Amino acid sequence: MDELMMRRAIHLAQATHPHPNPRVGAVLIDGEGRVTGEGAHQGPGMAHAEVLAMSGGAGPDHTLYVSLEPCSHHGRTPPCVDAILAAGVGRVVVGRSDPDDRVDGRGIQGLRQAGVTVEVGVLADEVEALDPGYFHHRRTGRPRVTLKLALTLDGQLAASDRSSRWVTSEEARADGHRLRAESDAIMIGAGTVRHDDPLLSVRVPDTTDVPGTRPVIVAGRRPIPPQARLLDRNPLILSPQPLAGIRGGHVIVVPD
């Protein structure tokens, strides 16, 4: 039962883009094993997964399954540990402890000190695989970056006369879009904007687009075409100098 419910909690959080907060899912069951509530955190300032799962009420006979350790500090929302104790949940099953310095075991300790039975480590590897960007950032202070390249067998990106459109298969392109759907941002150079005029949308079956996937343009000293379609998607533009006449997006000047 523990693994089944934890897997359900993980599934609830898979499609969310709450960063810089972590992806978290939660499921609440009663003493007879019936699911009485569930939820996933959607973003900063919004209700946490535990609170959503307990919104219909809870009691000592209930077990709360949460993929990541409940928070114990005040941020944009009150601590989830306080909410769990106020609801009177008797048992909490945690997938993995939170590497954030503000939590890192304090949530688990707070629940146990209050008399709640806490189990930790159910599907811990799958929980970390759910959100590798969050865990990498909390451990290193750096974003997790994936480099995606489409190359021919002899290491070329495209034909020199620009006649080639794709050098990869349909299956490989589908993999690329699934990678986009799992990411918070897609970064390209301004040369790609000028030559290809891409949209950088997420084209996966049954998915129109992922609002959390933001385009990022690394600009040089040449102008970005004012008609570029990507400017309609509120890109983040990193530029060595101020840019005039940009109709959309946010420019961050990075000297040199």
Q: What is the largest CA-CA distance in the chain?
A: 70
Beta bridge partners of 99: none
Q: At 199, is the secondary structure helix, strand, or coil?
A: coil
Nearest to 44 by CA among 73, 12, 71, 75: 75
CA distances to 22, 113, 188, 238, 255 from 216, in Å:
21, 46, 6, 8, 17
Interior/surface letters 13-48, b for 16+ CB within 10 angstroms, e for the rest: beebbbbebbbbbbbbbeeeeeebbbbbbbeeeebb
CA distances to 19, 147, 180, 185 from 217, in Å:
20, 15, 15, 10
The answer to whether residue 50 is catalytic is: yes
Exactly one of 50, 69, 126, 182 is catalytic; which is it? 50
Question: Which residue matches tokens 């899912």?
Answer: 25
Task: Give catalytic residue positions.
Answer: 50
